[in-house]
C-alpha cells in the first residue's frame, strides 16, 4: 500500500466510477490506507489474500460494494460470512499471486456453495480468461461474469513497460511459472500458501528451486531485480502475466479487447 500512489490514481480518475483493491494481509499493517481511500467514495473495494473481516464494516458504511477474491473454499466461506456482494473465484491459471485451485473445478464448486448459502452474491470467475470463449465457459460453470487481468495487462493503456508487452505477445501458456522468488527478491513477506505466476525467464531459471540461496544473496540480488524492473528488462525481473498469455497476439486498446470478448 502506497498512500501517495493511491491519491494520485484517484485524482487521475476524478469523476469516474472506479474501485480499489487491497492485499488484505498487507492492509492490516496500514489500515489508514483504507480510511483515506473510502473518503474518495470508491464504487467497490476488493479484498484478497487474507481475512476480510476487519474491513467490511467500514467499506459498507462508506456505501461501497464489498468484493472478496478467493483462492480456495475456506476463502469462499469467509466471503459468505461477511456477506460479500461480489465473490471472485480465482484459479491458479491467473497471473500474479494466487494459490493452487484450477478454475474449471473451483468456479462451479464456489457457485454451488454460494447458491446454498449466499444466493444474493454475484460470482465472478478469474484465471486464464482472455477471450469470449473463456467468458462463455465461466458462465457455463456458474459464474455471472469474469475478472480479467492478463488480457487487460496486455492493453495499450496499461502501465506496463513496452519490452514486457513484447514478451507476452511472444509467449505461450507454457511460458509461466508459479514461484516465490519474485517476492524473496523484493523482500515482501507473502504468507505461506500463495505464490506468484510470472514469465519464465533468466531470473526464474536462476533462482526457482534455489530460494534459500536467493534469501542469502538478497542484499545484492534485490537491487538488481528492482533495477531490471525499472528498466523494463524482461529477462532479469518479474514479468507479471498468467497462462492466458498464449491467447494474446497483440497489444490493443482496452476498448477493443472488451468489445471482442
Mean pLDDT confidence for 96-111: 97
Residue % of the chain over a pLDDT of 90: 98
Q: What confidence score (pLDDT) does residue 184 get?
A: 98
Q: Are strands 96-98 and 122-126 parallel, antiparallel or unpaired?
A: unpaired
- Tell me the helix, strand and coil percentages in the chain, rounded to 5: 45, 15, 40
* Span between the terminal Cα atoms of the chain, in Å: 32
Half-sphere exposure of 107 (CA within 13 A, CB side): 30
Four-CA torsion 187, 189, 195, 198, nearest 10 degrees: -20
Cell of 40: 474518495
**Which of the 8 DSSP states describes residue 64?**
P
pLDDT digits (tens, 9 = 90+) for 200-212: 999 999 999 999 9
Q: What confidence score (pLDDT) does residue 15 get?
A: 85
Average pLDDT value for the chain: 97
Rounded to whole angstroms, the Cα distance separating 88 from 20 reads 14
Q: How far is CA 137 from the centre of its chain?
A: 20
- Residue pair 195/49 in contact (Cβ under 8 Å)? The answer is no
Q: What confidence score (pLDDT) does residue 188 get?
A: 95
Block residue for cell numbers 507476452: 168
Task: Label residue 232 exposed, middle or buried (CB < 10 Å: 0-12, 13-18, 19+).
Answer: middle
Mean pLDDT confidence for 4-30: 94
Block residue for cell numbers 504468507: 191
Mean pLDDT confidence for 40-51: 96
Mean pLDDT confidence for 210-217: 97
**Which of the 8 DSSP states describes residue 155?**
B
- 144: phi then psi, degrees, rounded to nearest 5: -105, 5
Which residues have a Cβ under 8 Å from the Cβ of 61 and sit 6 or more positions away? none
Mean pLDDT confidence for 148-176: 97
The 3-state DSSP class for residue 119 equals coil
pLDDT digits (tens, 9 = 90+) for 171-181: 999 999 999 99
Rounded to whole angstroms, the Cα distance separating 139 from 4 reads 38
Does the pLDDT of residue 1 top 90, yes or no? no
Amino acid at each position: 500500500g502506497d498512500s501517495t500512489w493511491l491519491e494520485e490514481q484517484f485524482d487521475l480518475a476524478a469523476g469516474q466510477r472506479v474501485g480499489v483493491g487491497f492485499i488484505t494481509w498487507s492492509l492490516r499493517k496500514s489500515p489508514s490506507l483504507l480510511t483515506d481511500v473510502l473518503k474518495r467514495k470508491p464504487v467497490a473495494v476488493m479484498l484478497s489474500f487474507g481475512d476480510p473481516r476487519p474491513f467490511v464494516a467500514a467499506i459498507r458504511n462508506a456505501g461501497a460494494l464489498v468484493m472478496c477474491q478467493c483462492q480456495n473454499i475456506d476463502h469462499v466461506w469467509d466471503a459468505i460470512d461477511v456477506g460479500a456482494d461480489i465473490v471472485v473465484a480465482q484459479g491458479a491459471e491467473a497471473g500474479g499471486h494466487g494459490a493452487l485451485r484450477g478454475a474449471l473445478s473451483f468456479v462451479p464448486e464456489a457457485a454451488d456453495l454460494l447458491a446454498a448459502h449466499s444466493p444474493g452474491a454475484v460470482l465472478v470467475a478469474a484465471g486464464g480468461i482472455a477471450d469470449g470463449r473463456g467468458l462463455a465457459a465461466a458462465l457455463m460453470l456458474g459464474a455471472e461474469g469474469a475478472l480479467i487481468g492478463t488480457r487487460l495487462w496486455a492493453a495499450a493503456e496499461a502501465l506496463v513497460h513496452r519490452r514486457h508487452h513484447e514478451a507476452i505477445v511472444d509467449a505461450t501458456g507454457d511460458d509461466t511459472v508459479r514461484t516465490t522468488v519474485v517476492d524473496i527478491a523484493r523482500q515482501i513477506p507473502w504468507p505461506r500458501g500463495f505464490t506468484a505466476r510470472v514469465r519464465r525467464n533468466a531470473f526464474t531459471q536462476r533462482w526457482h528451486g534455489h530460494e534459500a540461496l536467493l534469501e542469502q544473496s538478497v542484499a545484492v540480488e534485490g537491487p538488481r531485480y528492482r533495477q531490471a524492473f525499472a528498466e523494463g528488462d524482461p529477462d532479469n525481473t518479474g514479468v507479471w502475466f498468467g497462462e492466458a498469455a498464449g491467447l494474446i497476439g497483440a497489444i490493443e486498446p482496452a476498448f477493443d479487447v472488451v468489445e471482442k470478448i
